[in-house]
Amino acid sequence: MLNVLALGGRITLIRDDDGKTLDIECFTREGWVMTDCTFDMFKRLRAKKAIASVRSGPYRISRLGLEMLRVGT
């Protein structure tokens, strides 16, 4: 997952009218939807601070995530 995000992919949250997260969609940089992206994986990456959202935009890989990818953790 981090490999795809490092190459320009993004994670978009799907919310209801109250702002509650219903689902997530993971896209490659070409616009293809990844089917193996789960909400649990999203929560783990966010808890490790490997992904981040800037100004309410889609989640992308963070600098810490890039470092984690280089090290292999």
Question: Distance between the two ends of the chain, CA-based, in angstroms?
Answer: 12
Q: 49: which DSSP letter? A: T
CA distance 40 to 69: 19
Specify the higher pLDDT residue, 72 or 54.
Answer: 54
- Residue 51 near residue 65 (C-beta atoms within 8 A): yes
Identify the domain containing residue 29 by its residue range. Answer: 2-71
Give the percent of the chain with pLDDT over 90: 85
Q: Report residue 73's pLDDT band, with 50, 70 and 90 as the boundaries.
A: low
Per DSSP bridges, beta strands 10-15 and 21-27 are antiparallel
pLDDT at 1: 87
Q: Report residue 27's pLDDT band, with 50, 70 and 90 as the boundaries.
A: very high
The single-letter code of the amino acid at 18 is D
Q: Report residue 48's pLDDT band, with 50, 70 and 90 as the boundaries.
A: very high
Per DSSP bridges, beta strands 51-53 and 59-61 are antiparallel
Total domains in the fold of the chain: 1
**Segment 9-34 mean pLDDT:** 94
